[in-house]
């Protein structure tokens, strides 16, 4: 790799952004982080994976659940649990970036590293709804009847998570260095192009 050491990937649901990240990580032989970050944060907070997963999935949706978790864990803070998790994830991401080249998918990594590092390439992967619905049905086994609802639900969750935590707009191209339509460009070509750019900047 050249000047760029860290590649962050934001992505619409079922656009194949995770697959693009995985490919880059394999081709470059560097670590890949996605859900792992949530698990590391949970460990640091002494929370069970179950609780973290539920808090993560209900973030900004269930104030009551957050409050109950907060009191159950007696964390000695008035911050809602999802904010506590986000703050811990932010520290995990900063630490991982310090450890060396890697690919980070999701978790607002672009925004978290923006002002503290200059060796980051921020990518967003998107695709038209039809292609994503096809992928969600074929690759994730979703039901064709509810797949468009599922796309909307997952994208809504991601945008809410990103917008609330960063104060910026999820998927707005100004937050990224490049945005690629995976349905047109293809997963493999997306990965190769990102590697080409990251290696020659």
Taking CB under 8 A as the rule, does residue 178 contact its own copies?
Answer: yes
CB of 193 to its own copies, least distance (A): 6
Neighbours of 1 (CB within 10 A): 16
**Number of shown-chain residues binding its own copies (CB under 8 A):** 23
**Range in contact with its own copies (rule: CB under 8 A) among 22-30, 34-42, 91-99, 181-189:** 181-189
CB of 166 to its own copies, least distance (A): 17
**Range in contact with its own copies (rule: CB under 8 A) among 21-29, 71-79, 137-145, 175-183:** 175-183
CB of 196 to its own copies, least distance (A): 6
CB of 109 to its own copies, least distance (A): 16
Taking CB under 8 A as the rule, does residue 13 contact its own copies?
Answer: no
Taking CB under 8 A as the rule, does residue 168 contact its own copies?
Answer: no
Taking CB under 8 A as the rule, does residue 193 contact its own copies?
Answer: yes
CB of 80 to its own copies, least distance (A): 32
Q: How many CA atoms lie within 13 A of 145 on its CB side?
A: 0
Residues that bind its own copies (CB under 8 A): 121, 124, 126, 128, 171, 173-174, 176-181, 184-186, 189, 192-193, 196-197, 200-201
């Amino acid at each position: 790799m050249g000047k760029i050491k860290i590649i962050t990937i934001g992505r619409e649901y079922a656009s194949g952004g995770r697959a693009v990240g995985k490919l880059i990580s394999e081709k470059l032989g560097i670590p890949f982080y996605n859900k792992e970050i949530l698990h590391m944060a949970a460990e640091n907070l002494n929370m069970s994976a179950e609780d973290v997963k539920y808090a993560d999935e209900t973030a900004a949706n269930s104030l009551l659940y957050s409050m109950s978790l907060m009191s159950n864990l007696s964390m000695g803070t008035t911050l809602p649990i999802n904010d506590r998790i986000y703050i811990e994830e932010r520290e995990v991401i900063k630490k991982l970036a310090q450890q060396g080249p890697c690919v980070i998918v999701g978790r607002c990594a672009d925004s978290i590293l923006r002002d503290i590092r200059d060796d980051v390439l921020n990518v967003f992967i998107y695709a038209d709804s039809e292609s994503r619905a096809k992928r969600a049905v074929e690759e994730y086994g979703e039901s064709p009847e509810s797949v468009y609802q599922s796309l909307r639900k997952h994208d809504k969750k991601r945008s809410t998570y990103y917008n609330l935590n960063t104060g910026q707009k999820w998927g707005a191209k100004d937050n990224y260095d490049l945005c690629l339509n995976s349905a047109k460009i293809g997963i493999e070509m997306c990965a190769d192009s990102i590697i080409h750019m990251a290696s020659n900047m």
